[in-house]
Amino acid sequence: MYEWIWRKLPGGLAGKIGGCVVLLAGVLALLFLVIFPWVEPRLPWNDVNVNSPSIEQTTPSSSPAANPSPSISASTLPAG
């Protein structure tokens, strides 16, 4: 495909490189100004529901903050 484009571009080496730059700029402008704005509302990334329960809220917690460890006092330490 790129070989076909290279053969169809007019001019010598400088003209072909300039044509490639113009063609690339046109494709990027089409993507950023037309295609991406058209596709963006159809993507699920903006469908955020903050009020839904998360996994941490629906399952019992076994984190250290939920189950405090017993304190160590001098009477519980082994004599030695």
- pLDDT tens string 35-76: 999 998 888 876 677 775 666 556 555 655 555 556 666 666
> How many other CB atoms sit within 10 Å of the CB of residue 13?
7
Rg (CA), the chain: 32
Distance of alpha carbon 38 from alpha carbon 29, whole angstroms: 13
Specify the pTM.
0.51
Q: What distance in Å separates the CA atoms of residue 14 and residue 20, rounded to the nearest whole number?
A: 10
User: Do residues 19 and 11 make contact, with C-beta atoms less than 8 angstroms apart?
Assistant: yes
pLDDT at 31: 96
